[in-house]
Amino acid sequence: MRRAFIFSLVFAMVSITACGENDHPVLSEQHEQANGEENNENQETDMENSIIKLTVGGRSFTATLVNNSSTDALKEHLAQGDLSIRMNDYGDMEKVGSLGFSLPRNDRQTTTGPGDLILYQGSSLVIYYDTNSWNFTRLGHVDGVSTREEMLGLLGGTGEIILTLSLNKNQNEE
């Protein structure tokens, strides 16, 4: 409904200003102001929609998702409810666990770092606490993490964990 309204508003403004800026300078200025405000609102909404909550052992933190079809599909799954994933260490650089379903892949050569969230082979979630390079689908990054120690601290160290993913509270209310 909101998109239809915005589309109608933009279409009407484009139609009005199609006569030329010189013909309707006041309308053109109003269009620019409205368009700028609309873009700011869209950017804020996109940022809110790109944040998910991760919980391990009662400790919660957030991650900001990238914009791709993989993250869109993940958010659709999370809209149905929280997702718990059993994760284990692999190669002294990551924790990996099965999602239990597949997401669209957007694989490309990627070098990871601590805090990176990666989709592996379309059905496994990986959280990196060290570096690696391979063909992966980037999902996002844990907010505020830049070192191995920080990421391992949030994950509770090495060993098996249960990670719960959920939408940011604001997204659940929409």
Q: Mean pLDDT across the stretch 93-109?
A: 98
Examine the pLDDT at 129 and tell me if it is beyond 50: yes
pLDDT digit string, tens, across residues 7-51: 444 444 434 334 444 443 433 444 444 445 444 444 444 555 799
- The pTM of the full predicted model, rounded to 2 decimals, is 0.72
Query: CA–CA separation, 120 vs 123, rounded Å?
Result: 6
Residue 138's nearest CA partner among 158, 157, 160, 115 is 115
Tally of CB atoms within 10 A around 161 = 19
